[in-house]
Amino acid sequence: MSNVKEKQGYVHFHGAPVKGKILMVASSPSVSAQTGWPIGFWAAELTHPLRVFEEAGYDVDLVSTEGGKLEMDGYSNPADTSGYSAHDVISLGYFQKPSFKAMLENTQKLTQVNANDYAAIFLVGGQGPMYTFKGNKDLEKLFVSFYEAGKPSAAVCHSTTMLLEAKKSNGELLVTGKTWTGFADAEEEFADQAVGMKIQPYRIEEEARKMSGTNFKVAAPFSSYAIADGNLITGQQQNSGAAAAEMVVELLSV
């Protein structure tokens, strides 16, 4: 069995020189067939890991499933009138930066990048991935190429839906023999109750538990929780992005 590490919380890195490049992948804008809402990426799942990577001395490129302009999920916007993410001062800070806003304006499509240019890959979650990452063979191929090259390969929250189907080059599911996490059923239940409807077309934990030969674990709802099993790193939800990013940085420093 591979060495499994779990992490809660994170530490900060400051003033480090540029060490390499990390590829982050987000969902292009879509529309939920369940709710009719416009959906995309969850702000904190981009900004919190981005902060960790930049403070550790890495450059970051952001790409998307279709390329072009990206949109965040409304509830993840710290300025949203719902106040749901009003506490997210990290995202609030990034959205004041012209360079960050420019990053979201015109992304490359994920098929346009060369994996050899990057030290690690990090999949950003949100509501969009449930539609745009699930069954996305180009994304699966890209992620597996990082994983099979021994590079840190991370996914958080709903982006872990890709791991329900992603297969290695030998045809075996990537998560076979792995311990991993993703958005929990209890968290889906909380979200559904909060808005008064079933938000997602399926649940990641429910689907993962139907799979044999893999170990899906969750911690307390909405706690910071990430798992590293070899070079596969997964985070449970939006509060776990920084912890997962720290694990990426830790692996890169070995």
14-38 residue pLDDT tens: 555 679 999 999 999 999 999 999 9
Exposed e or buried b per residue across 23-32, where buried means at least 16 C-beta atoms within 10 angstroms of its C-beta: bbbbbbbbeb
pLDDT in tens, 52-89: 999 999 999 999 999 999 999 999 999 999 898 999 99
Q: Which residue has the tokens 């949109």?
A: 71
pLDDT in tens, 219-252: 999 999 999 999 999 999 999 999 999 999 999 9
- Give the pair of three-digit tokens for residue 98: 């012209």
CA atoms within 13 A on the CB side of 148: 16
pLDDT band at residue 213 using 50, 70 and 90 as cut-offs: very high
Q: Does domain 4-9+16-252 have CATH number 3.10.350.10?
A: no
Under 8 Å between Cβ of 242 and 156: no
The candidate with the shortest Cα–Cα distance to 167, out of 150, 147, 144, is: 144
The candidate with the shortest Cα–Cα distance to 244, out of 124, 145, 147, 88, is: 124
Using alpha carbons only, what angle is made at residue 80 by residues 222 and 35, rounded to the nearest 5 degrees? 70
Give the Cα separation of 85 and 239 in Å (integer).
11
Distance, CA of 168 to chain centre? 19
| Sequence-ordered list of residues with C-beta below 8 angstroms from that of 131, at least 6 positions apart, any chain | 27, 30, 32, 33, 39, 201
Quote the pTM value.
Answer: 0.93
**Is 11's pLDDT higher than 90?**
no
Give how far Cα 77 sits from Cα of 49, 80, 106, 212, Å: 16, 5, 19, 37
**Domain spans of the chain?**
4-9+16-252
